[in-house]
Amino acid sequence: MSVTNLRVLLARRPNGAPVAEDFTVERGSMPAPSLGEVLVQHRYLSLDPYMRGRMSDAKSYAKPVAIGAVMEGACVGHVVESRDSRFAPGDAVMGGFGWQQYSSVPAGRLIKINEDEAPLSASLGVLGMPGLTAWVGLEDIGQPKPGETVVVSAASGAVGQVVGQIAKRRGAKVIGIAGGPEKCAFVTKTLGFDACLDHRGPDLGAALDEAAPDGVDVYWENVGGAVQAAVFPRLRDFGRMVMCGMISQYNEAPGADVSAAPPGPNLGAVVRKRLRIQGFIVSDTGWPRYGKFRAEMLDHMKSGLVWREDVVDGLNAAPEAFIGLLKGANFGKLVVRIA
């Protein structure tokens, strides 16, 4: 067993889109568990868009990662050594272990997972934070009803693929939006959405009019920008806009004045159409409902709900993979397999 701990640190705050030099990959010493802690060997690291926010010191809902600190992130792994009676070596666990090979973590911050139910990495995606995000946003805000039309941006991504498949199972017509024909084919043929529109096409508005001639009841917002501008005027009366993310602007320069952000839609339609536009962060209310969510998702998986991972090998590759994620280069839930 290696006595060093490969890890990725935040070297400096990115200016706009992150670059490789914003990260440092180095070997640290092995963490030793204190009483009540568990030493975990990580198998997979999740890479998610929210991490861009943690790299910045702009005001946000969570503290930034300090310069020189290990990048934050969720991992799944196995217990190597336990100094808490609830865990034993070999147990599969998930938690916020960071971009590194090993961590010592207070036992109360771990969730034990059953590897017989699904592959380990699924607990970072369809059964993890992204899946829970999809489920919470639909439960609390989107609330699709049978016969309604749901539009999902970043439809082949970690959250989008789950949103659409849950909405289908609740009787909605589901239209994905994704980048390029390969992703669109996956969204319709493999995920089973009713349609998928390529946002790189010449006229997304016209494509929406054709796919959803009566308008849109629920819009799941992952991206913002031009896609939002195309969907917003097509919301129907009593439409809901689930504000999960706006990845298109995550790379704006830190400290930019609010007034410098690109403008959004005129909100007159919110009154006229009685729209609801609501943002949420899964960590606010999601985890106490994890058990209910996981049971429902395991049922869906038995009846054909699928998911796609984009697996990258080795922590050395994590910075480039994350940089690509913010540009839509991944195809499916992005995870790093840790050697």
List residues near a second copy by CB under 8 A: 53, 60-61, 221, 224, 228, 233, 237, 243-246, 249, 258, 261-281, 284
CB of 276 to a second copy, least distance (A): 4
Please name the helix (run of DSSP H) or strand (run of DSSP E) that holds residue 132, with its range, or none: helix 129-137
Shortest distance, CB of residue 320 to a second copy, whole angstroms? 26
Nearer to a second copy, 152 or 243 (CB): 243
Tell me whether residue 11 or residue 270 sits nearer to a second copy (CB atom): 270
Q: How far is the CB of 18 from a second copy (least distance, A)?
A: 18
Which of 272/302 has CB closer to a second copy?
A: 272
Least distance between a second copy and beta carbon 161 (Å): 20
Q: Look at residues 99, 102, 10, 105 and name the one whose alpha carbon lies nearest to residue 46.
A: 99
Please, what is the minimum distance in Å from the beta carbon of residue 249 to a second copy?
6
Q: What is the dihedral sign for C-alpha 20, 50, 252, 240? A: positive
Amino acid of residue 19 = V
How far lies 309's CA from each of 21, 239, 330, in Å?
A: 26, 31, 9
Of 49 and 176, which has the nearer Cβ to a second copy? 49
* Integer Cα distance of 107 and 84 in angstroms: 6
Cβ distance to a second copy smaller for residue 106 or 262: 262
Residue whose CB is less far from a second copy, 4 or 285: 285
Structure tokens, 50: 């929210």
> In whole angstroms, how close is the CB of 175 to a second copy at the nearest point?
20
* CA 40 to chain CA mean position, Å: 23
Give residues with Cβ within 8 angstroms of 164, minimum separation 6: 150, 152, 155, 174, 176, 187, 191, 193
Burial 282-308 (b: 16+ CB within 10 A, else e): beeebeebbeebbebbbebbeeebebb
Nearer to a second copy, 43 or 52 (CB): 52
226 in helix, strand or coil?
Answer: helix
Which candidate, 136, 146, 141, places its Cα nearest to that of 170? Answer: 146
From the CB of 122, what's the least distance to a second copy, in Å?
25
